[in-house]
Amino acid sequence: MRLGMTKRVLALVTVAAALAATPQSGLAQNGPWCLVNDQKGSTSCAFVSRDQCMLSTGGNVGHCIANPATPTLPAPARRSRGASG
């Protein structure tokens, strides 16, 4: 019975180690700015600012766009200038 428990623990540790070692590819793609590479046709959304993205364009290699997968915040409501009351 003790041997069976040891095998279960070993299997659990092995699965946990395998899950921890898998690449987290989606984490780097959640930035608010994306670089669209015009030559390769690829897109990288790993930039926190437009300036950071623009510095990565390498001249005329690509252009920067707002990440379409990032939810946009609604515009603040404007107060009317009419009489209150």
Distance separating alpha carbons of residues 7 and 2, to the nearest angstrom: 9
Residue 56: inside a domain = yes
Residue 42: inside a domain = yes
Residue 45: inside a domain = yes
DSSP string, the chain: -HHHHHHHHHHHHHHHHHHHHS--GGGGG--SEEEEETTTTEEEEEESSHHHHHHTSTTTSEEEEE-TTSPPPPPPPPPP-S---
Residue 37: inside a domain = yes
**What pLDDT was estimated at residue 19?**
45
Residue 46: inside a domain = yes
Residue 36: inside a domain = yes
Query: Which residues in the chain show pLDDT less than 70?
Result: 1-3, 5, 7-28, 72-77, 80-85
Residue 35: give the domain boundaries: 29-69
Residue 18: inside a domain = no
Residue 82: inside a domain = no
**What pLDDT was estimated at residue 57?**
85
The count of domains in the chain is 1
pTM of the model: 0.50
